[in-house]
Structure 1
């Protein structure tokens, strides 16, 4: 072999940097050491001859090294255009853009685009050459990041491709995604009916109590749905539930207090029953507060287990909220009115 071009396997990182190769979504994950490598004194002809018959992950750029340190990069276009006797030191870019192994993949890809480079060199903190990120890989990173950005703008989890697939999927697959949760909702509705039936005697004594069951259930659902929408949107933007949990719980309690405070004089004035009005107000406060907690917990659990909250957390939250709201209201009404 006339030149000093050779194959390199995995990027050679020493010490703590070795672990960086395993990190996802970093430059180290995409860097390949199986690329043409030479020294500054090698000529263009020697390098081209040495590259013949060899398989590289990417041959668009030759890395010029001094030992294991990067000195510059030579594009294949420059290599082919140069006379055969030209040393690489004369045609290399001695200040190419480089990134650390821990650099985020999106930042690395955009750096290559901004410098109009077909590849990107990865160099560790000690200046050692760790490999090159090839142009197809950079393009794939940009497409992936664009897909995720579009997903975040749309307010859903995962990727735009996943969301698009769930939007255009066949009818049977739609049913398989939705029907189990709706069947669970049906079971919850039957359970709510059983709970109402268990208060038959109390409702027989004061039928006015039954008038407010739908209203209290609806208001609790509405409060929970607002919280759930905020949580799912936050998760899609990378905002953890812990960051909003306290404020959202406090908001749910305040909403319940406001709605209860508003309902109390209205029910009292329209039906002339202070005890029923107090029962409705207390039920709204308790149900709205609990609805916020449920709406926080369920999307978080779905997200924690790698499931899309858009399919299951809504129906499941509705079931739990409705059953609890009915039970809370009838218990409060029984205690206050009867």
Structure 2
């Protein structure tokens, strides 16, 4: 009849098996409900919200305590058990396991291996703890990919000296990028003097690339906050950036042509907007991911670094287009 399950292998952290209780009541399908309840009263368990109904070590159902207390005297576990309870594999991630239990409304979640053998039960209180932990981690990632809520709070209330230490190095990188941009602009002084209209559209192209990149960064952060990795969004987001650039370029082409009367300059602006928008999307996805992989906080670094990279690339692309089409 009722017994506890004990396994010697060490489960991986943050998996369903890692959270599972092994000292739980188990019984056979043909065991009397009354006898099982009586036997349970003489033993101690880590979790006794349900009885795992096993046949040869394999899970065939679960019986809740509520259903067992309401059973007739002659009923057996087969009569009161749920024959299709929600189950997860031992290596299932804790968040997925918790949500599966919530969606099925069960007071516990059975863990079974590939052969259907019962490995343990994730208790209701443990499921709540997992959901709370994952919720806090999601909020942390949403606020800047930090590893824990405690780190997020510390960053929010840290003193001025620490704030400067975290921010100034990245801003110095941005300052260096601005100086490089100035040097790069000076290299095209002859082009700018020959056609001053070329300079009119530099701020617009740089702004549009930054705006497209900022949108992508926001979407990437939202995705990461709910467990959606960069790999899952990179293809569609890159195509979106290319499409946005094509639409903006199509709008810019006739407008610039009417403003300047120079069709080739208008074409250069349109091509630069298209290419800069597409590249800005990639930069906005790659930099936060790369900083996170390097153990740096993208909340401070990704914005300034992405901006300076996007600005430099946008200016280079624009002058390359002008050189090829206008000069």
Question: TM-score over 0.5 for the alignment?
Answer: yes
Ranges in structure 1 where 5+ consecutive residues have no aligned partner: 13-20, 269-273
Distance 2:116 2:209 in 1: 60
Q: Secondary structure at the match of 2:42?
A: helix
- Match of 2:289? 303
Q: Separation in 1 of the partners of 2:184 and 2:84?
A: 68
The runs of 5 or more residues in structure 2 that have no matched partner are none
For 1:140, the equivalent position in structure 2 comes to: 129
What secondary structure is seen at the aligned counterpart in 2 of 1:240?
helix
Distance (whole Å) between structure 2 residues aligned to residue 76 and residue 226 of structure 1: 51
Q: What residue is the counterpart of 2:100 in the other structure?
A: 108
Which residue of 2 is the match for residue 187 of structure 1? 176
The one of 7, 10, 13 aligned to 1:9: 7
Please name the residue that 1:68 is paired with.
57
User: Once the two structures are superposed, what CA deviation does each residue of 1:49-83 show, in whole Å capped at 9, x if it has no partner?
Assistant: 343xxxx543555545444244654649978x99x
Check whether the contact 2:238–2:278 (CA below 8 A) recurs between aligned residues: no
Quote the Cα distance in structure 1 between the aligned partners of 2:76 and 2:274: 72
Q: CA deviation at 1:28?
A: 4.4
Q: How far off its partner does 1:187 sit?
A: 0.8
Structure with higher Rg: it is 1
- How high is the TM-score relative to the length of structure 2? 0.70
- SS of residue matched to 2:21: coil
1:197 pairs, out of 146, 169, 186, with 186
1:218-268 superposed Cα distances (whole Å, 9 cap, x missing partner)? 344334434444454455562521133223213213312322331221133
How far the C-alpha of 1:334 sits from its partner, in A, is: 5.5
Aligned length: 308
Alignment of 1:1-338 (within 5 A): 5-9=3-7, 27-37=16-26, 40=31, 44-51=37-44, 56-63=45-52, 65-70=54-59, 72-73=62-63, 75=65, 89=76, 93-95=80-82, 98-102=85-89, 104-111=96-103, 114-115=105-106, 117=107, 119-123=108-112, 127-144=116-133, 146-147=135-136, 161=149, 165=153, 168-171=156-159, 172-204=161-193, 207=196, 209-236=198-225, 238=228, 239-268=232-261, 274=262, 278-279=264-265, 281-303=267-289, 306=292, 310-333=299-322
Structure 1 range deviating more: 177-186 or 166-175: 166-175
How big is each residue's C-alpha offset from its partner over 1:105-127, in whole Å with a ceiling of 9 and x where there is no partner? Answer: 13432156x24x3x333345655
TM-score by length of 1: 0.68
Alignment RMSD (CA, Å): 4.5
Cα distance per residue 1:77-136 (max 9 Å; x no partner)? 978x99xxx999579943376223247413432156x24x3x333345655322111122
SS in 1 for 2:119: strand
